[in-house]
Structure 1
Amino acid sequence: MPAVASLQADEQRFSADYLIETPLEPAHVAEVMAGEQSCGTFVRVAGETDQLRQRARAEVLSVDEIESVAEPSLPNAWQQRQHIGGPYRRARIRISFPVANVGPNLPTLAATVAGNLFDLGEVTGLRLLDVKLPAAYRRQFDLPRQGIAGTRTLTGVADAPLLGTIIKPNVGLSAEETAELVGRLCEAGVDFIKDDEVCANPAHAPLKERVQAVMRRVRAYQDRSGRRVMIAFNITDDLDAMRRHAELVEREGGSCVMVGLNWCGFSAVQSLRRSTPLALHGHRNGFGMMSREPLLGMSFAAYQTMWRLAGVDHLHVHGLNGKFSEFNDEVVASARACLSPMADGDAVMPVFSNAQWAGTVRPTFDAIHSSDVIFLSGGGILAHPDGAAAGVVSLRQAWDAARSGVTVNDYAKDAPELRRALEFFGPRLK
């Protein structure tokens, strides 16, 4: 990997975009942010020479004021002590940082673009919108070991979406009961099966027993059918345990493990990436606490940038018209971000889930114009009135219709599984 000193001039800085709210002059606050996250503090200190500031200080690239509001989005004790009130001005700002300040250090990169910025007294709202890295700098971090191409190779699915489901109920099934369910799902024709995020290594179904029992069924099914089904075992744990779990999955012939990203952290996931060739299925549960308040936290664009640097191969983006709080345009933007390369070959597969069924396929495809997705459907498969196999077929038919430009209703005229799905789920999910 190239050293920072060898980078071209336009590759020696990266940038971050923010939305801020403040009762002060936004341009002044932007300068405070730049200083706070590089070589400055609230006053110039000993050793902070002009030469040092020129070399290491972050730079404000733009400040675009957009609106003012009468009330602050968040409480602020510093402003109360200073007797500062509204109106509260909102602005989008872009700040550029020297690569040399950070190097290929993911936790420090995260601390640089976020860190104490959320605590600044000058702001009553701050949100990290995006992080843009030069391709050469991005390549100094971990790349996906499998990514889109590798995932397709491991599953044998050449160009269609990977259709899958989640093992439910997520708590209560024994290892053998889980394996029996996986066997039925394989026979139903799915490409991908994953654990639920809250089922990792429970006493009633220890991970070792579950992996061994499940993989016996998966190997037997592959021997009979020639089809390779990818199982994303939830190995979320401490780092040493996750490495052991991944080695177990690999020994048993598995191809994928799932990690709860927010609870394991950047360093653990990076270390896991470097120790296993398995596909890393990144589950974002907990992301809502970072994203739901419009003037706090971070957008998925920034979030996925940093997790891709940890080397994940798949990232959850929720789903259209789903059961969670996100608007459809947020889901679409998240999927597009995953599919947009930051450097050659580093795109990751977006994972659509939550209340997905044949009826959400066409809007999904029309929005992203790609089949490089993992499309998970629980009830849309398992609750199909004609059984799980018909549920899988209904999804394939819906994707075939979407990619062919045929309306789902027209395609359903000669596709009984799809027609039954529309009749059964349609009235319930309006």
Structure 2
Amino acid sequence: MERITATYFIETPLEVEKAAAVLAGEQSSGTFVAVPGETDELKQRFAARVESISHQETVTESAIPGARASSGLFHRAMIEVSWSIENFGYNLPVLISTLQGNLYELTQFTGLKLMDLDVPPSFAQHFHGPCFGIEGCRRLTSVADRPLIGTIIKPSIGLSPEQTAALVQTLVGAGIDFIKDDELLSSSANSPFDKRVDAIMRVINDHADKTGKKVMYAFNISDDTDAMLRNYEKIVSAGGTCAMISLNSVGLSGVKKICDQGQLAIHGHRNGWGMLNRHPLLGIEFPAYQKLWRLAGVDQIHVNGIQNKFWESDDSVVRSIEACLKPMLGGYSILPVVSSGQWGGQAPETYRRTQTVDLLYMAGGGIMAHPEGPAGGVVALQQAWQAAVEGLSIEEAAQQYPQFAQSVVKFGKMDKIKNVQ
């Protein structure tokens, strides 16, 4: 029988083997005490198994402040636990309840993080995965052989539909590939959803009629399921190509319901990620996280960015990009969305460390605050990525590309950049 395997990073005041056995029992057929009916036959079929244990360090201070251990020691380890697919079939919410449920509350653990998971090949027969993925998003935006260049409407909230459409007009004229609503906006008092879609899509459709290029706009449809479906249909009827969903706010089943419609690329925003990941010994790591959303059908997902404005390290961002680009179930492709305090200056390091242009490279202020305005900001990002692929340094690129040079003056650290005009 096929099995699902999960990898955890744990900390425990107990012997690691004993703590791992408690996790396996609690998250399958067992509980805190032997119960009638838990026969050897039942356990053989449905009990979780501890597949491997890799001991790490032992520390005297727990990951959870105030935790106590009788020995004064806390042991850390990587453990692999597997479950028979018979336990939950192809039910994603029950799978999550198994892999990420009450185990976080067990007193046997002072730290526990889901690092990765592996699902069997049969999942491909029950979950179609992203309908568009990397190649589909490239096709919809007519972009090949470079990152998609995108931006976010700023101010995040407060613009009217007409003001937003005017900004979109500037951006599409500048050659932008992708624009999105901020996650804080869906339908506000002065920007009702339907009116905003109509105003923006008039601009995008007119530009497509004139040039043949349709800019992808991700309208934020995050809401209850019925409202999301209505808003989804509004985008489709207006000729749009993308909808955005706040993944952690809407939840797995709601997101999957929208993805299953199959007519729009789904931009997955992970706002709230720090709540799930920031503690090094609590929550979930991105390799596991993005697999769940790939199964649900999300086409694009945020990964933060190099030298970002948030807490996440560059190493973590690189691992996230690599996780998205790693094949899953024969081709479930998901486009990494690089964002958070980005401008062209991070492009060379991003390319150096990832060696990929299969990215949606997002800059808000990095485009909007360019000295030549949003149009100059778009050109500067395109130049930055051209320079990155060419292997140019920031200094060399600034000498060759004028709009990028202005970005360096505006956003860069001038004490480290010489002779930029």
The bucket for the TM-score relative to the shorter chain is: over 0.9
So what's the TM-score if we normalise by structure 1? Answer: 0.93
Report the Cα offset of residue 366 of structure 1.
1.5
Structure 2 Cα separation of the partners of residues 386 and 333 of structure 1:
34
Q: Does structure 2 conserve the Cα–Cα contact (< 8 Å) formed by 1:21 and 1:88?
A: yes
Report the Cα offset of residue 160 of structure 1.
1.5
From 140, 149, 152, give the equivalent of 1:163: 149
Q: Given the alignment of the two structures, is residue 383 of structure 1 paired with residue 369 of structure 2, yes or no?
A: yes
Q: Given the alignment of the two structures, is residue 25 of structure 1 paired with residue 15 of structure 2, yes or no?
A: yes
Q: Given the alignment of the two structures, is residue 71 of structure 1 paired with residue 61 of structure 2, yes or no?
A: yes
**Which amino acid letter does the alignment assign opposite residue 392 of structure 1?**
V
Specify the alignment match of 1:370 in structure 2.
356
Q: Given the alignment of the two structures, is residue 360 of structure 1 paired with residue 346 of structure 2, yes or no?
A: yes
Q: Does structure 2 conserve the Cα–Cα contact (< 8 Å) formed by 1:182 and 1:214?
A: yes
Q: Does structure 2 conserve the Cα–Cα contact (< 8 Å) formed by 1:192 and 1:231?
A: yes
Aligned-residue sequence identity (percent) comes to 48
Provide the secondary structure at the position in 1 that maps to 2:244. strand
After TM superposition, which residue ranges in structure 1, 4 or more long, deviate above 6 angstroms?
none
**Which amino acid letter does the alignment assign opposite residue 271 of structure 1?**
K
Q: Does structure 2 conserve the Cα–Cα contact (< 8 Å) formed by 1:197 and 1:260?
A: yes
**Residues 361-398 of structure 1: per-residue CA shift (max 9 Å, x gap):** 01111122111110011122121112322221221112
**Which amino acid letter does the alignment assign opposite residue 229 of structure 1?**
V
Specify the alignment match of 1:328 in structure 2.
314
From 330, 345, 350, give the equivalent of 1:344: 330
Write the mapping of 1:108-127 to structure 2, written as runs, cut at 5 A. 108-127=94-113
Structure 2 Cα separation of the partners of residues 395 and 429 of structure 1:
22
Structure 2 Cα separation of the partners of residues 306 and 199 of structure 1:
25
- Aligned pair in 2 of structure 1 residues 428, 116: CA closer, same or farther (>3 Å)? farther
Structure 1 Cα separation of the partners of residues 296 and 204 of structure 2:
29
Structure 2 Cα separation of the partners of residues 142 and 174 of structure 1:
38
Structure 2 Cα separation of the partners of residues 149 and 420 of structure 1:
32
Q: Does structure 1 conserve the Cα–Cα contact (< 8 Å) formed by 2:171 and 2:378?
A: no
Provide the secondary structure at the position in 2 that maps to 1:413. helix
Specify the alignment match of 1:313 in structure 2.
299
Which stretch shows the higher mean deviation, 39-48 or 119-128? Answer: 39-48
So what's the TM-score if we normalise by structure 2? Answer: 0.95
Q: Does structure 2 conserve the Cα–Cα contact (< 8 Å) formed by 1:163 and 1:192?
A: yes
**Which amino acid letter does the alignment assign opposite residue 340 of structure 1?**
K
| Structure 1 unaligned regions, length at least 5 | 1-8
| Structure 2 unaligned regions, length at least 5 | 417-421
Q: Given the alignment of the two structures, is residue 217 of structure 1 paired with residue 207 of structure 2, yes or no?
A: no
Root mean square deviation of aligned Cα? 1.7
Q: Given the alignment of the two structures, is residue 236 of structure 1 paired with residue 222 of structure 2, yes or no?
A: yes
Report the Cα offset of residue 182 of structure 1.
0.9
Specify the alignment match of 2:419 in structure 1.
none
Q: Does structure 1 conserve the Cα–Cα contact (< 8 Å) formed by 2:337 and 2:362?
A: yes
Structure 2 Cα separation of the partners of residues 238 and 298 of structure 1:
25
Specify the alignment match of 1:6 in structure 2.
none
Q: Does structure 2 conserve the Cα–Cα contact (< 8 Å) formed by 1:222 and 1:228?
A: yes
Write the mapping of 1:41-190 to structure 2, written as runs, cut at 5 A. 41-74=31-64, 84=70, 86-190=72-176
From 263, 273, 290, give the equivalent of 1:277: 263
Structure 1 Cα separation of the partners of residues 170 and 238 of structure 2:
19
Specify the alignment match of 2:233 in structure 1.
247
Report the Cα offset of residue 413 of structure 1.
2.4
**Which amino acid letter does the alignment assign opposite residue 45 of structure 1?**
V
**Which amino acid letter does the alignment assign opposite residue 383 of structure 2?**
Q
Provide the secondary structure at the position in 2 that maps to 1:92. strand
Structure 2 Cα separation of the partners of residues 139 and 174 of structure 1:
44
**Which amino acid letter does the alignment assign opposite residue 97 of structure 1?**
W
**Which amino acid letter does the alignment assign opposite residue 269 of structure 2?**
H
